[in-house]
Amino acid sequence: MASSREPVDLDNVPEAEVDTEHKGFPVVWLLPIVALVVGGWLFYKTMSEKGPEITIVFNNAEGIEEGKTKIKFRDVTLGQVDRVDLSDDLKSVVLVATMSPGVKHYLTDASRFWVVKPRVGAGGVSGLGTLLSGAYIAFEPSTEGKSQKKFTGLEKPPVISIDKKGTKYHLKADSLGSMSIGAPVYFRQLDIGEVTGYQLADDYSHVDIGIFVESPYDKYVRTGTRFWNAGGVSLSMTASGVKLEMESLISLLGGGVAFETLPEFTDSPPAPAETMFSLYENRTRSLEQPITRVVTYMLKFTGTVRGLSEGAPVEYRGLRIGTVKAIELGEDPLHQGILVPVVLIDIEPQRTMAYKEVSATSKREVTALEKNPHKRIAELVKKGLRARLQSGNLVTGQLFVDLDYFPDAAPAEVLTAGLYPELPTVPNSLEGILASVNRILDRVEKADLQGTLVNLNQLMVSTNNLVGELEKKTPELASELSTTLKTANSALVKLESAVSPDGAIGSQVQDALREISSAARSIRVMAEYLERHPDSLLKGKGAP
Amino acid sequence: MRARDFGLASCHTCGLVVKLPAVGHVHCPRCASPVHSRKVNSLSTSWALLLAAMIAYVPANLFPVMSVVSFGKRQSDTILSGVIYLFVHGDWPLALIVFVASVLVPLLKMIALTYLLVTVQRKSYLRHQQRTRLYRIVELVGRWSMVDIFVVALLAALVNIGNLATIEPGAGAIAFTTVVVLTMLAAANFDPRLIWDHQGEK
């Protein structure tokens, strides 16, 4: 071989052999295309898998950790809190969370978020699992409403979850009482709903309590249904004994609501959602007849109305027919310028009606009082109907208004001059006695005592004279009296001798008595014989 | 004076010097290996590989390289977020190493290759020596970028303690591997002799 230093003999260099021609597409250029396709696909996949980013506003971020706190629905993780920021005004915290891509359609303005942490309430303990795992955010998806990305979290878990079917109603109560959110709603002591919330009415006149009645029980809520406060214990003493009413121990602590529909209202249409009902203080109250019509009368009493309170009953012979509406001061009709207590009463004609199964639509029989109360009462007043105050309770001295007939009372009529028609009144029983005594005293006062005394004096004088004359004749009278006594004495002696057993009368009487005694003995013998042998009455006394 | 100027080439396999015909693909008469004066389609292949590497570089930096799942908490890091994490936590020397090895080097390598390819294509006759040195550096340094990938692969295999800690490679790791491999291939396919082919022409 030639060394490298020697000149190369180029002619002896062998010639390379020519291949068959093959030229095609340079395969290596597929690489950038593949890279582009794969890269693009990766981006598309990542973008499409990336879930929506949402913000949730809470009052505070207690128990929430960035990048750790999960958002769950039915214990399935659907998202995670990425960041916890403060709002611009520092009044709330803003959680930025990424949700799973599939959840996108369930993020609407009806979706709800709240923090699940251990809670202890009257109804029980919840969220104990979060003691170990840490708090998480519960999410309640909803397909209804507008899609949105900004949410305001609930500070308390919602009482009703979205998948519970049922109806919401409102209750109007004078005061909240022991009601709490989550308190049960009972229907025949079945727990079928919950109190969802409460708020003061806009005009502060009542408390608006929201309740939720689960399906299918919500169909029992009719327009005529009555709700009452089932919280606490109701103890009532009646003539039939002591009655204790209590729904359940839970309602004793946390309050509760119960409802019932009176038989005559079961035909009424089902109440639409959000219907406002009145909340009565107890069952008895709630099931009283609804008073829709009242006729107001005015009563003027001359005496005191101490012990009469608003709401006191108006009774007719022990039957309640109305309620005391107000107690005020007014002018005395008899004495101008004198103020007397004026009592306004509501006569409630519906209380007097008798329920009868008349027809399917109306089960009531309408009484004359209900048809035209004013006319009817005017007639009754002509017959002697009067109002008076009666003591209803001797211990507390509570009064009530009693209506009754007093045929002897002075004739009176319903006065229609004032704002309300005025019923005539009579004083009550104590007042009546006092009035009679007063009358007697008045008469005594008016009587001619002076004349009487003069007459009495004259009488005394003449009696004196009479006695004086008697005194003068005394010796004469005394001697005559002595002889009379002597005569009497001898007569008595004679009588005594006659009556004594040795005397004429005495022996005769003794004989007679002896005869009677033997007769009686014979009768006894005969009676004994007859007792042994009653047949002897017919057969005669047989041979011995 | 180049072998090419005499119509000669050496066989890559057996080293036999052969005379090249004017046209066509040829092979060595001794060992039948293909014989070329320069690497076939060197520029085109390098360009294709480089472009593919550039495309792959984007997801390599945007997608997480590694996910650490610890106590149910998953933390995914891209290369840059890992560098930032290290830097923020005070490990700035380590951050620097990772940044240089994983971000800067592949980037500079791609820039360098692009520069080489462009200058060769434009038949530049300037700084041949510097360019050749650059090519050597590129070839030498390229493989060290794989350190990251080895770390991820080792961790993913080693740290697998169930709920306590699990490390999963991410899509970014695959993309990054692709970048490194493609740039290495692109560098290998580049024929440095092309740099010198245009020194005499003015």
> Which positions ≥6 away from B64 have C-beta within 8 Å?
B76, B77, B78, B81, B170, B171, B172
Q: What is the pLDDT of residue A180?
A: 80
Q: What is the pLDDT of residue A140?
A: 84
How many Å separate Cα A477 from the centre of its chain? 91
Tell me the chain B residues in contact with residue A50 when contact means C-beta distances shorter than 8 Å: none
Question: Are B134 and B188 found together in one domain?
Answer: yes
| Residue B201 in domain | no
In order, the DSSP letters of A513-530 are: HHHHHHHHHHHHHHHHHH
- Residue A385, Cβ neighbours under 10 Å: how many? 20
Candidates B27, B56, B59; nearest CB to A17:
B27
A66, closest residue in chain B (CA to CA): B73
CA angle, B177 then B179 then B184, to 5°: 95
Q: What is the pLDDT of residue A360?
A: 42
Q: Does residue B191 or residue A393 have the better pLDDT?
A: B191
DSSP bridge pairs for A126: A119
- Residue A277, Cβ neighbours under 10 Å: how many? 22
Candidates A16, A35, A68; nearest CB to B56:
A35
Question: Are B98 and B190 found together in one domain?
Answer: yes
Q: Between chains, do B73 and A67 touch, taking CB under 8 Å as contact?
A: yes
Q: Between chains, do A14 and B29 touch, taking CB under 8 Å as contact?
A: yes
Q: Sheet containing A93-99: give its strands across.
A: A112-116, A136-140, A70-73, A76-86, A93-99, A53-58, A150-152
Helices (H), A233-324: 249-254, 283-286
Candidates A17, A29, A46; nearest CB to B48:
A29
Q: Between chains, do A31 and B30 touch, taking CB under 8 Å as contact?
A: no
How far, in Å, CA of B32 to CA of A323, rounded?
Answer: 125
Burial (Cβ within 10 Å: 0-12, 13-18, ≥19) of residue B84: middle
Q: Which helix (H) or strand (E) element contains residue A64?
A: none
Which letter, b or e, does each residue of A399-418 get, where b requires 16 or more Cβ atoms within 10 Å of its Cβ? Answer: bbbbbeeeeeeeebebeeee
Query: For residue B193, which phi and psi values (nearest 5 degrees)?
Result: -65, -25
- Show the tokens assigned to A180: 């709490």
> Which positions ≥6 away from A257 have C-beta within 8 Å?
A171, A179, A183, A184, A185, A186, A193, A195, A209, A211, A227, A228, A229, A230, A279
| Residue B173 in domain | yes
Tell me the chain B residues in contact with residue A10 when contact means C-beta distances shorter than 8 Å: 6, 8, 19
Q: Between chains, do A32 and B55 touch, taking CB under 8 Å as contact?
A: yes
Q: Between chains, do A32 and B51 touch, taking CB under 8 Å as contact?
A: yes
How far, in Å, CA of A152 to CA of A58, rounded?
Answer: 6
Q: Which helix (H) or strand (E) element contains residue B131?
A: helix B128-142
| Residue B98 in domain | yes
Q: What is the pLDDT of residue A459?
A: 93
A82 CB-side CA count, 13 A:
13
- Name the residue among A252, A193, A197, A249 with its Cα closest to residue A217: A193
Question: Are B15 and B64 found together in one domain?
Answer: no
Candidates A29, A36, A68; nearest CB to B55:
A36
Helices (H), A394-503: 429-446, 449-472, 474-499
Query: If interface means Cβ-Cβ distance under 8 Å, which residues of chain A face chain B?
Result: 10, 13-19, 21-22, 26, 28-29, 31-32, 34-36, 39, 42-43, 46, 67-68
DSSP bridge pairs for A228: A258, A280
Q: How many domains does chain B have?
A: 2
Per residue, the 3-state secondary structure of A189-231, as one string, reads CEEEEEEEEEEECCCCCCEEEEEEEECCHHHHCECCEEEEECC
Query: For residue A177, which phi and psi values (nearest 5 degrees)?
Result: 70, -145
Question: Are B103 and B144 found together in one domain?
Answer: yes
Question: Are B107 and B96 found together in one domain?
Answer: yes
| Residue B17 in domain | yes
Q: What is the pLDDT of residue A371?
A: 66
DSSP code at position B119: H
| Residue B163 in domain | yes
Q: How many Cβ contacts (< 8 angstroms) between chains A and B?
A: 88
> Chain A: nearest CA to B34, how far in angstroms?
9
Query: If interface means Cβ-Cβ distance under 8 Å, which residues of chain B face chain A?
Result: 6, 8-9, 16-21, 24-30, 34-35, 41, 44-45, 48-49, 51-53, 55-56, 58-59, 62-63, 73, 75, 171, 175, 178, 182
Instruction: Give me the domain span that covers residue B177.
Output: 40-196
Tell me the chain B residues in contact with residue A39 when contact means C-beta distances shorter than 8 Å: 55-56, 58-59, 175
- Name the residue among A369, A363, A365, A364 with its Cα closest to residue A349: A369
How far, in Å, CA of A66 to CA of A89, rounded?
Answer: 21
Question: Are B25 and B11 found together in one domain?
Answer: yes
- Name the residue among A225, A467, A423, A219 with its Cα closest to residue A321: A423
Return the CA Rg of chain B. Answer: 22
pLDDT in tens, B16-63: 787 777 666 777 888 877 777 777 778 888 888 889 989 988 888 888
A313 CB-side CA count, 13 A:
13
| Residue B107 in domain | yes
Question: Are B150 and B112 found together in one domain?
Answer: yes
Q: Determine the residue type at A354.
A: A
Question: Are B101 and B180 found together in one domain?
Answer: yes
Q: Between chains, do A39 and B56 touch, taking CB under 8 Å as contact?
A: yes
Q: Residue-wise pLDDT tens for chain A (544 aa)? A: 444 455 656 667 777 777 665 566 677 788 888 888 988 888 888 888 777 888 899 888 888 888 788 888 888 888 888 888 888 888 889 988 888 888 888 888 888 888 888 777 666 677 777 777 778 888 888 888 888 888 888 887 777 776 778 888 999 888 888 788 878 888 888 888 888 888 888 888 889 998 988 888 888 888 888 888 887 777 766 556 677 777 677 777 767 888 888 777 777 788 888 888 888 887 777 777 666 778 888 888 877 888 888 888 888 888 888 888 888 888 776 667 777 888 888 887 766 654 444 444 444 555 556 667 788 788 888 888 888 888 877 677 778 888 888 887 777 878 777 788 888 888 777 776 777 888 888 888 777 778 888 999 999 999 999 988 888 888 888 888 999 999 999 999 888 887 777 777 778 888 899 999 999 999 999 899 888 888 888 877 766 5
ipTM: 0.76
Tell me the chain B residues in contact with residue A32 when contact means C-beta distances shorter than 8 Å: 48, 51-52, 55
| Residue B202 in domain | no
| Residue B123 in domain | yes
- Show the tokens assigned to A36: 């582009």
How far, in Å, CA of B26 to CA of B24, rounded?
Answer: 6
Question: Are B129 and B158 found together in one domain?
Answer: yes
Tell me the chain A residues in contact with residue B73 when contact means C-beta distances shorter than 8 Å: 67-68
Question: Are B12 and B83 found together in one domain?
Answer: no
Tell me the chain A residues in contact with residue B8 when contact means C-beta distances shorter than 8 Å: 10, 13
Question: Are B175 and B192 found together in one domain?
Answer: yes
Candidates B9, B52, B59; nearest CB to A42:
B59
Per residue, the 3-state secondary structure of A114-152, as one string, reads EEECCEEECCEEECCCHHHHCCEEEEECCCCCCECCEEE
Assess contact for A185 and A213: CB atoms under 8 A: yes
> Which positions ≥6 away from A282 have C-beta within 8 Å?
A228, A229, A234, A245
> Chain A: nearest CA to B7, how far in angstroms?
10
* Rama region for A317: left / alpha / beta (φ>0; ψ in -120 to 50; rest): left
Question: Are B156 and B86 found together in one domain?
Answer: yes
How far, in Å, CA of A372 to CA of B48, rounded?
Answer: 106
Number of continuous H segments (helices) and E segments (strands) in chain A: 11, 28
Helices (H), A232-328: 249-254, 283-286
- Residue A381, Cβ neighbours under 10 Å: how many? 21
* A216 upstream amide cis, omega within 30 of 0: yes
Candidates B24, B56, B59; nearest CB to A18:
B24
Tell me the chain A residues in contact with residue B71 when contact means C-beta distances shorter than 8 Å: none
DSSP code at position B162: T
Q: What is the pLDDT of residue A517?
A: 94
> Chain B: nearest CA to A38, how far in angstroms?
9
Q: Between chains, do A13 and B18 touch, taking CB under 8 Å as contact?
A: yes
Residue B116, domain CATH: 1.20.140
Q: Between chains, do B178 and A14 touch, taking CB under 8 Å as contact?
A: no
